[in-house]
Amino acid sequence: MLAGKFGRYDVAKLTQVAAALELIHMASLVHDDVIDDAATRRGTPTVKSEWGDRMAMYTGDYIFARALVLLAEFSDVRIHQLLSESIVAMCEGEIEQIRDFYNMEQNLRTYLRRIKRKTALLLSVSCTLGAMVAECKPREVRLLERYGYYAGMAFQIIDDILDLTSTPKKLGKPVGSDLRQGNLTLPVLFALQNSRDALRLRNLIGREMTAAEVEEAVKIVKSSGGIEYARTMADRYMEKCLEALRQLPNTDARTKLEGIAHFINERDH
């Protein structure tokens, strides 16, 4: 909606695209909770935990189908092409994440490609579609796309940091949830390569981790400098995000996008 304010602001069209994007996001979360066997999402019970896997999968499919119905009313082929390619990439990112569960040999490149597909693309596409529907200038479309991409990369890295440093109350889920399911995030990958207790960490990470083992693993990651390393990486993406933003016209929409970027960078949950 904010990206659309850099062009011809048509609230009806922008709302329709925004609603479709939110439905796609929601559908992916419903499916994600089945894959992760998650009991809560943002502190409330998931569809999966309340009604089971089958109902959750059909619910996700239904929500996704409703998004396609909304988008079918747009004749611009570019919108459908961009969304189709993005959805494919998002699914690839999730598949890669499942493939790499407990894979302690993966590298930084693998991690960055994965979070680009599973998180950054959605923010990038949101900004791009808003700009496209509003018929923004090509340069502004590219800058908004970059803003969304860099903000998304920073968001996911910070999310991975918070999974290790926040509290269950703030997260709405147990600390170290990624470790429990074998999702090795940037701070953990850093610790596996650089910690003096890397061998112990390797021995701790597994499918049958106890609560005490998760707690010990989190302590090793924290003492390795992995949190600080990931924070530096997130800051670099945030700098690029704000640099793209500064090249856009100085409007109220730009100020609000900047506020969103700062919130991403400073959030604690």
The CATH number for 87's domain is 1.10.600.10
Q: Which of 247, 241, 265, 235 is nearest to 124 (CA)?
A: 241
Percent of the chain with pLDDT over 70: 100
* Number of domains the chain is built from: 1
The answer to whether residue 36 scores a pLDDT higher than 90 is no
DSSP 47-66: HHHHH-HHHHHHHHHHHHHH
Across 21-36, average pLDDT: 92
In angstroms, the CA 48 to CA 52 distance is: 4
Longest dimension (CA), the chain: 58
Q: Which two tokens stand for residue 11?
A: 């609230």
41 DSSP β-pair partners: 44
Residue-number span of the structural domain to which 92 is assigned: 3-266
pTM: 0.91
Q: Give 147-162 pLDDT, tens digit per residue.
A: 999 999 999 999 999 9
Across 128-154, average pLDDT: 97
Q: Give 205-251 pLDDT, tens digit per residue.
A: 999 999 999 999 999 999 999 999 999 999 999 999 999 999 999 99
